[in-house]
Amino acid sequence: MNLPLELLLIPLLPLFSFLLLGIFGRKHLSAISGMIGTTSMLVSALLSIKAAWNYFTTTTGDAYTQTVAWKMTWLPFNADVSIDIGFLLDPISAMMLVVVTVVSLMVHLYSLGYMKGDERFATYYAFLSLFTFSMLGLVVSVNLFQIYMFWELVGVSSFLLIGYYFTKPSAVAASKKAFIVTRFADLGFLIGILALSYHGQTLDFPTLIQRLTTVDSPWLNSAITSSFLGASALTWGLMLVFIGGAGKSAMFPLHIWLPDAMEGPTPVSALIHAATMVVAGVYLVARLFPVFAISCPGALEIVMWTGAISAIFAALIACTQTDIKRVLAYSTMSQIGYMMFALGLAGYGGENGLGYTASMFHLFTHAFFKALLFLGAGAVIHMIHSNEMKDMGGLRKAMPVTHLTFLIACLAIAGIPPFAGFFSKEEILTAAWNNNKTIYWLALITAGITAFYMFRLYFNIFWSKPAVAHHHDHADDHGHGEGTWSMKLPLILLSLGAIGAGFIPFGEYVSSDGHPLHLPFHLSSAILPIGIAVSGILLAYSLYFKENEKPDKIAASLNGLYTSAYRKFYIDEVYLFVTKKVIFQLIGRPAAWIDRNIIDGSMNGLASLVAWKANLIKNIQSGKIQDYALYLFAGVFGLVVLAYYLAY
């Protein structure tokens, strides 16, 4: 099938930008590299919006179907199995095209001002383009192999962006940490791919889903009847795939890389860790959702509980952090947890699939307000030159645009109507109430905590103590230290998304089975969540609106609990203990001793023996003819004696 040129250009334009800037950028295109990257992203975003519009408005029938816009056989194995490269268009891939390109465009535009003057300006834009290309290739993948290929490319490009400031030891450590943790999870993903493709006898998503969800099909029977350690091959395959998704989406306990990844430039944090890379795991589960929901609901329950635990775990930690980017990082982990448990409690088809629709809806709205929060934080850091809340306060007058847009984002993530986060979060809570009351109450508590820590952040930045002189020391000529209009415009545009995205009738376009899902809104069910959110805001107001000693007193009274949350419940310490004390000491050191003393020792001993023999032999080479003649006669005499002995 021929791929329309406009669809082909969506991923190819960022790829072209990467190649052009990567090869020629630093020497020849440094001055215009930002404009090249931003222009290519603008065209890609417009084409993505057009593609999504055409898909949702031209679909005939009563359901949205998966459309393979293009597919090419790359590696044929036999008549039934091959590795293909293609472009899959369906409701979630169409949505993700818009999310990835629009957020990336905002980051590209914002970076024109934020990264201005950086000596590796062209390299930065090349890395941004590579990451965007990787994400676009991932979301339109037609099969498991293609998604894994782009999955790894996303990991590589995120490694480059996180470690962009490679002269900083903390940035280098953060990039390596992210790479290693996600590689560990990706190993599970790869094994899961092999298990599913072996039993499904295909790599293509449409065919694989059809074979593994059809009752009494030989492929499904094979996957169910084959077992290991009491679980079917299907369960193992799906859970290993989920481990890959959990690593990329920073789910507990594979979350430890996400806070440290804030070492990259703040626009990178908005791109990677707010709207694209970290939702890749959610997208992966959603892509295989029919198999989870129909054929293996037990695996889906694990997804649900992993998401719920991650959501409340991260929310508690966020309440204690003082670095604004780390607060937002744990906020991201918590919101991704919301999306995961919403998928986990969903069924397939009709109203049973409300959790699926709600998860995708929250992914969509979250992209706008979380990117807005990160870019707003970037504007603050750009002015104050510090990530710590103690260095901030009273910035509302010095940064009016940032203040207003940041407030909008905080209201959206807190779930206050009529902002976008309210509508998507309300659907998640409704789905939880209908399917699992325990998850509902956990989600409700998490929502209240979210409102508290986000407005703790807001009041500490823009209110609290009065602005001090150094706030204005860094103000530039473009207005109150907020940066250029290239930095302000994305804030304004994203704030419009944070306000208006919730009014989209999302269920009409994205559902578990492709059929439009009508979502009636009941005000009565929203009263309690709104009340909980408002209570969290009021608590933050009472503690942080004006500088006082109450937060310190409360922290002191909580003692060990507060310290544990501040130290991230010592998960990092556990990992360090396991790696250094167990893996390095109990496994690494003995292995190194064996390698050094037995393997290397035997080789070195053999070499020493040869060298000793050589030293003995070299003395024979005296250069005197009489010595050589003596050796000859002695040798002949010895042979004669030996022959006589053997003969008699």
For the stretch 409-459, pLDDT in tens is 999 999 999 999 999 999 999 999 988 899 999 999 999 999 999 999 999
Residue 526: the pLDDT is 84
Residues in the chain, total: 648
Tokens 């031209």 map to which residue? 58
Amino acid residing at 563: T
Taking residues 537-546, what's their average pLDDT? 90
User: For a pLDDT cut of 90, what percent of the chain falls above it?
Assistant: 34
CA-based radius of gyration for the chain: 30
User: Which range, of 130-134, 210-214, 400-404, 622-626, averages the lowest pLDDT?
Assistant: 622-626
pLDDT at residue 398 is higher than 70: yes
On the CB side of 35, CA atoms within 13 Å amount to: 4
pLDDT at residue 42 is higher than 90: yes
Q: Per the structure block, which two tokens stand in for 490?
A: 């994305």
Instruction: Compute the mean pLDDT over every residue in the chain, rounded to the nearest whole number.
Output: 85
Q: What is the pLDDT of residues 275-305, one digit of tens each?
A: 678 888 899 999 999 999 988 888 899 999 9
Helix (H, G, I), strand (E, B) or coil at 266: helix
Amino acid residing at 328: L
The rounded distance, in Å, linking the Cα atoms of 242 and 240 is 5
pLDDT at residue 479 is higher than 60: no
User: For a pLDDT cut of 70, what percent of the chain falls above it?
Assistant: 93
Element spanning 336, H or E: helix 324-344
Amino acid residing at 385: H
| Cross-strand partners of 75 | 83
Residue 646: C-alpha distances to residues 236, 640, 642, 643 (Å): 72, 10, 6, 5
- Least Cα distance to 425 among 454, 405, 401, 458 occurs for 454
Residue 481: the pLDDT is 61
Q: How many other C-beta atoms lie within 10 A of the C-beta of residue 345?
A: 29
pLDDT at residue 366 is higher than 80: yes
pLDDT at residue 79 is higher than 70: no
Residue 1: the pLDDT is 46
- Least Cα distance to 204 among 146, 269, 160, 125 occurs for 146
Q: What is the pLDDT of residues 603-621, one digit of tens each?
A: 888 888 887 777 777 666 6
Q: Write the secondary structure of 357-388 as one string of H (helix), E (strand) and C (coil).
A: HHHHHHHHHHHHHHHHHHHHHHHHHHHHCCCE
- Least Cα distance to 132 among 233, 15, 215, 225 occurs for 15
| Cross-strand partners of 143 | 204
Q: Using 50, 70 and 90 to split pLDDT, how confident is the model at 80? A: low
Whole-model pTM? 0.85
Element spanning 74, H or E: strand 67-76
User: Which range, of 335-344, 505-514, 618-627, averages the lowest pLDDT?
Assistant: 618-627
CA angle 209, 157, 67 (to 5 degrees): 30
- Least Cα distance to 447 among 374, 365, 535, 371 occurs for 535
The rounded distance, in Å, linking the Cα atoms of 368 and 364 is 7
Helix (H, G, I), strand (E, B) or coil at 467: coil
Identify whether the C-beta of residue 498 lies closer than 8 Å to the C-beta of residue 422.
no
Q: What is the pLDDT of residues 127-170, one digit of tens each?
A: 999 999 999 999 999 888 899 999 999 888 888 888 888 888 88
- Least Cα distance to 288 among 351, 335, 223, 228 occurs for 223
pLDDT at residue 469 is higher than 60: no
Q: Using 50, 70 and 90 to split pLDDT, how confident is the model at 474? A: very low
Identify whether the C-beta of residue 92 lies closer than 8 Å to the C-beta of residue 287.
yes
Residue 133: the pLDDT is 93
The rounded distance, in Å, linking the Cα atoms of 634 and 644 is 15
The rounded distance, in Å, linking the Cα atoms of 587 and 609 is 31
Q: How many other C-beta atoms lie within 10 A of the C-beta of residue 600?
A: 11
Q: Using 50, 70 and 90 to split pLDDT, how confident is the model at 311? A: very high
The rounded distance, in Å, linking the Cα atoms of 153 and 592 is 32
